[in-house]
Amino acid sequence: MLPVPVGAGGPVSARKRGSLMARAYDVQEVERRWQGRWAEERTYELEPEDPRPPYYVLCMYPYPSGPAHQGHVRNYTFGDLLVRFRSMQGHAVLSPFGFDSFGLPAENAAIRTGEHPRSFTEARIAELKASVIALGAVYDWRREIRSHDPEYIKWNQVIFLRFLEHGLAYRALAPVNWCPGCKTVLANEQVLADGTCERSGDLVAKRNLEQWFFRITEYADELLEGLDSLEWPERVKTMQRNWIGRSEGAEIELPVVEAKEPGASLRVFTTRPDTTFGMTYAVVAPEHPLVGSLTTDEQRDAVEEVRALASAASDMERQAGIGGSSPASLAKRGAFTGSYVTNPFTGAPVPVYVADYVLMGYGTGAIMAVPAEDERDFAFASSYGLPVVRTTRPPEGFDGGAWTGDGVKINSGFLDGLDVASAKARATAWLEQQGSGRASVKYRLRDWLVSRQRYWGCPIPVVHCGSCGVVPLPEDELPLLAPDDVELAPVGESPLARHPTFAKVDCPSCGRSARRDTDTMDTFVDSSWYFLRFCDPWSTDRPFDPAEAARFMPVDQYIGGIEHAILHLLYARFFTKALADVGLAPGIEREPFRRLFTQGMIRMDGTKMSKSKGNLVAPSGYFDTAGADALRLFHLFAGPPTEDIDWTEQTGEVIDGCGRFLDRVWRLAVDAPAERDDWREGDDRGEDLALLRSAHRLVAKVTDDFEKWSFNTAVAACMEHANVLQRYLRESAASGGPSKAAYDRAVDMLLLVLAPMAPHMTAEAWEIRHGSGARVHSEPWPAFDREMVAEATVTMIVQIDGKVRERIEVDAGITEDDAVALALAAPKVAEALGGIAPSRVVSRPPRLVNLVK
């Protein structure tokens, strides 16, 4: 055993008392050496012509925020396990790594410290990369991507222009969050729930700016339908479905009564055309373009008040819900316009209200209100004294307000007697026939706003020319890089717009003086196709070679946090489809991520462990003490990977426990063979066979558990087998010594299955056992013998009235009759039965016999 100088280095605070224990091997030396070897020997660099079947494992590329935190460690431990496992199984594994290196934190840091975002970011990248390597995770680093690299920026810009060319990128006015205090545009996450700026505390206002959008809504149906084929967590798919929010219904034209302009009508969208007979009023959003013409002079003040309130109201207030509003505040949230529209089904006029519970951004910005069958309409109608007419008969005993369920149609003329579904169809057909409406599908999903009034992002490669309009930059001028000498302090304009020369440019088309776009792209653009670039990061004439990408795509296993369940994953899916449609990714599977795994969070004191909460427990302290292997093992062992982990005072001790287990394996694999002198030839004894049986069972269990992502039970299985090995050595000492052949085989099988989990220790032990140059991670994944796995005898339980009364060791192939006979013959059973034959016998040989009195 080596005297181990543990304890040198590493913050004391990160160490729990047990971490000072002496180890069976020099953990830090071994881990550092193997990390070096994996790099030197290019073990996980994948050549394009590799003939093995490809397998693509990808962890979501991280925002480089400094040294890895426990969430990263957990993520990359899972990913690395899979990389090594699939590789041992004979796959050509693509395992790339990169950095989502554009983004707001670097820009904010720059404002604070004066350091340029690039050098700041690159320093953070170096830290994160170092800790990923120190964890022993292996990647093909030649493929590394950083979103802020000029090469990557270039292809981002090429893709943008291609989208522009194909009508997938367009400009429109859109409101942004404007902070008057900071004189800058805020991201949504910088606006607090009460509508104030997180930094200055000023009330954030909406400002309309001309911005770039990607037409993701064009893909709404494909994005929705594509979900069905994916092996993703059901809840992530549900979240995406809700986000897309497809609703089928009808648009209906409501003629305005005595309109100022003849023939004017209000177009509403409804999912319940069957309820139109129950419309007792209509509502338009405060921002609706017809509000002005619908409002009469007498009502103008009231309507203006609603509009003013709606535009000033924080999102929070506006989203509080009609039902949750106090009567006083509710009164200001809606007003009669003074106009009426005609219900096309009844011909009756109904009043038009303006109210903030109707949103301009959804449907047509106007609704027909049916208080009897819609809860919001009901709440509003109750406050404003508007009539309620039921068109669906509620179930017996229903005493609520709005009934939104199925039922027989009533008060509905030609729809009476139908159920809701058929009434919908009939009503829609009638509308189409009358020319006053049509079937319609609406989505909650909006087009993707990609413009950001920021510096540290990918510049948008267009020029705005007074005569030519929007002019794309010629491809040979790309990448368009932002200048370094910018003033980042927030003073009212985006940094690039304030630069003395950046924006000034001659129009590429007509040559007259023009202006560059000074916005940058949302960083979600960068992360929407990086997995494609990873397949062919060397491509110099296009973002990636489609043939090379097609080899690896789709990603076989994508791993990341649940926080990306909607936006990143939806945008990436959209990009993959759009890239194919604009000709950049022909022949590539349109769904980029075949299997998705979302890991649980690391929590501390009930909250998410994060830098901003200041409750980080840095992994680096553990690298210096228990070691990377022990930390990896802890993350695998702590519980199911989907579940959150609570970081407690006990955690350090569990990590030490994982280190102790690795020591024990080391002693079994390296020390015991060298130290013992009572080895025996042959492996034919009962206990030898039992040992080999345990080894085969281990391999079967771990293989199965890896496939199911049940890593905690895989670790437990390894511990059990280590216990078996240890007992075998101890007990064989008294009976002629352990069999060398059986023991070696049983130890090797343990090292092999442990190799993806604790790569350093197993690599070192393997080389010591098998000679210089032997590489455990280049060994084929061990096979197991089914006959060895099957148990020869099992413990049969005998129950009386369902309670366990006896356990009997029986042959695994025992017949039903023998099992029952054996059960009845057991003395304890006979005694418990008291001579009375059971009235019923349930037998499930070989596991159980239940005797019912």
Partner RNA sequence: GCCCGGAUGGCGGAAUCGGUAGACGCGGGGGCCUCAAAAGCCCUUGCCCUUCAGGGCGUGCGGGUUCGAGUCCCGCUCCGGGCACCA
In the region spanning residues 21 to 80, those forming contacts with RNA, defined by CB under 7 A, are: 21-22
**CB of residue 147 to RNA, shortest distance in Å:** 24
Answer for which of 407, 639, 673, 737 binds RNA (CB under 7 A) is 639
Peptide bond into 846 cis (omega under 30): yes
Angle at CA of residue 83, ends 81 and 86, nearest 5°: 100
Q: How many Å separate Cα 586 from the centre of its chain?
A: 26
Beta-bridged to residue 367, according to DSSP, are 283
CA-to-CA separations, 631 to 73, 407, 433, 532, 766, in angstroms, rounded: 8, 59, 69, 31, 20
Residue 664 engages RNA in binding (rule: CB under 7 A): yes
Asked if residue 314 binds RNA (CB under 7 A), the reply is: no
Does position 358 bind RNA by CB under 7 A?
A: yes
Helix/strand/coil for 487 = coil
By CB under 7 A, tell whether 840 contacts RNA: yes
Nearest to 626 by CA among 653, 645, 604, 647: 653
Q: Does residue number 170 form part of the binding site for RNA (CB under 7 A)?
A: no
Q: Rounded to whole angstroms, how far apart are CA atoms 308 and 640?
A: 51
503 binds RNA (CB under 7 A): no
**Is residue 673 reached through a cis peptide bond, with omega within 30 degrees of 0 on the bond before it?**
no
**Residue 705 or residue 764: which is nearer to RNA going by CB?**
705
CB of 475 to RNA, least distance (A): 38
Given the rule CB under 7 A, which of 17-25, 32-40, 48-56, 72-80 is the region that contacts RNA?
Answer: 17-25
For residue 356, which of 379, 381, 335, 387 has the smallest C-alpha distance?
335
Q: Is 162 left (phi over 0), alpha (psi -120 to 50) or beta?
A: alpha
Tell me which of 43, 247, 265, 509 binds RNA, using CB under 7 A. 247
Residue 850 binding RNA, by CB under 7 A: yes
Residues 363-382 that bind RNA (CB under 7 A): 363-365, 367-368, 374, 376
Instruction: Report the nearest approach of RNA to the CB of residue 841 (Å).
Output: 9
Distance CA 90, CA 96 (A): 18
| Contact flag: residue 723 with RNA (CB under 7 A) | yes
The whole-angstrom separation of Cα 199 and Cα 506 is: 38
Beta carbon nearer to RNA, 321 or 474 = 321
Phi–psi pair at 654, nearest 5 degrees = -65, -40
- The first and second tokens of residue 533, run together, are 């670039």
Distance (Å) of CA 807 to CA 238, 485, 573, 796, 835: 47, 81, 56, 6, 20
Residue 472 binds RNA (CB under 7 A): no
- Containing H/E element for 628? helix 628-637
User: Which of 25, 61, 219, 269 touches RNA by CB under 7 A?
Assistant: 269
Task: State which of residues 200, 346, 509, 713 lies at the interface with RNA (CB under 7 A).
Answer: 713
Q: Which residues contact 30 (CB under 8 A, 6 or more apart)?
A: 760, 761, 764
Nearer to RNA (CB atom), residue 468 or residue 654? 654
Single residue of 89, 190, 271, 620 touching RNA by CB under 7 A: 271
What are the residues whose beta carbons fall under 8 Å from the beta carbon of 535, sequence distance 6 or more? Answer: 56, 94, 544, 545, 548, 549, 551, 552, 553
Q: Min. distance of Cβ 770 from RNA in angstroms? A: 24
663 binds RNA (CB under 7 A): yes
What values do phi and psi take at 560, rounded to 5? Answer: -175, -170
In terms of CB distance, is 129 or 333 closer to RNA?
333
Is residue 793 involved in binding RNA (CB under 7 A)? no
Q: Which residue has the tokens 């009808």?
A: 250
Residue 132 C-beta: closest distance to RNA, Å: 24
Write out the binding residues for RNA, residues 318-337 only, by CB under 7 A.
318-322, 333
Q: How many Cβ atoms sit within 10 Å of the Cβ of residue 220?
A: 18
Three-class HEC string of 409-449: ECCCHHHCCCCHHHHHHHHHHHHHHHCCEEEEEECCCCCEE
Determine the interface stretch with RNA among 222-230, 453-461, 768-776, 842-850 (rule: CB under 7 A). Answer: 842-850
Alpha carbon distance 768, 349 (integer Å): 91
Element (H, E) at 749: helix 740-754
| Region 546-605 residues binding RNA, contact defined as CB under 7 A | 562, 566
Q: Does 225 bind RNA (CB under 7 A)?
A: no
Q: Residue 201 interacts with RNA (CB under 7 A)?
A: no
Identified binder of RNA from the candidate list 390, 632, 701, 745, rule CB under 7 A = 701
Q: Which of 530, 626, 557 is nearest to 85 (CA)?
A: 557
| Residue 112 within binding range of RNA, rule CB under 7 A | no
Q: How many Å is the Cα radius of gyration of the chain?
A: 34
Which secondary-structure segment (H or E) carries 830? helix 827-833
From residue 755 to residue 784, the character string flagging contacts with RNA as x (rule: CB under 7 A) and all else as - is ------------------------------
User: Do residues 737 and 662 make contact, with C-beta atoms less than 8 angstroms apart?
Assistant: no
Question: Residue 345 CB, nearest distance to RNA (Å)?
Answer: 15
Considering beta carbons, is residue 160 or 634 the nearer one to RNA? Answer: 634
Q: How far is the CB of 75 from RNA (least distance, A)?
A: 17
Stretch that binds RNA, among 214-222, 640-648, 744-752, 771-779 (CB under 7 A): 640-648
The one among 331, 388, 497, 848 contacting RNA by CB under 7 A? 848
**Stretch near RNA under the rule CB under 7 A, chosen from 68-76, 236-244, 385-393, 423-431:** 236-244
Residue 512 binding RNA, by CB under 7 A? no
- Window of 170-178, 354-362, 385-393, 673-681 that interacts with RNA by CB under 7 A: 354-362
User: How many residues lie near RNA (CB under 7 A)?
Assistant: 91
Q: Kindly state whether residue 728 participates in binding RNA, applying the rule CB under 7 A.
A: no
Q: Does 797 bind RNA (CB under 7 A)?
A: yes
Asked if 842 interacts with RNA (CB under 7 A), we say yes
Q: Which residues between 805 and 824 bind RNA (CB under 7 A)? A: 805, 807
Of residues 452 and 701, the one with the C-beta less far from RNA: 701
Q: Is 838 in the site for RNA (CB under 7 A)?
A: no
Which of residues 321 and 413 has its CB atom nearest to RNA in the complex? 321
Toward RNA, which CB reaches closer, 359 or 470?
359
Give residues 432-461 in contact with RNA (rule: CB under 7 A).
442, 444
Rule CB under 7 A: is residue 471 a binding residue for RNA? no
Q: How far apart are CA 529 and CA 592, in angstroms?
A: 9
Q: Smaller CB distance to RNA: residue 409 or 805?
A: 805
The smaller minimum CB distance to RNA, of residues 254 and 579, is found at 254
Choosing from 656, 688, 748, 764, the residue that interacts with RNA (CB under 7 A) is 656
Q: Looking at 356-427, which runs of residues are DSSP E strands? A: 366-369
For RNA, the closer of residues 550 and 794 by Cβ is 794
272 binds RNA (CB under 7 A): yes
Write the CB contacts of 620 (distance below 8 Å, at least 6 apart in sequence).
10, 11, 14, 67, 131, 134
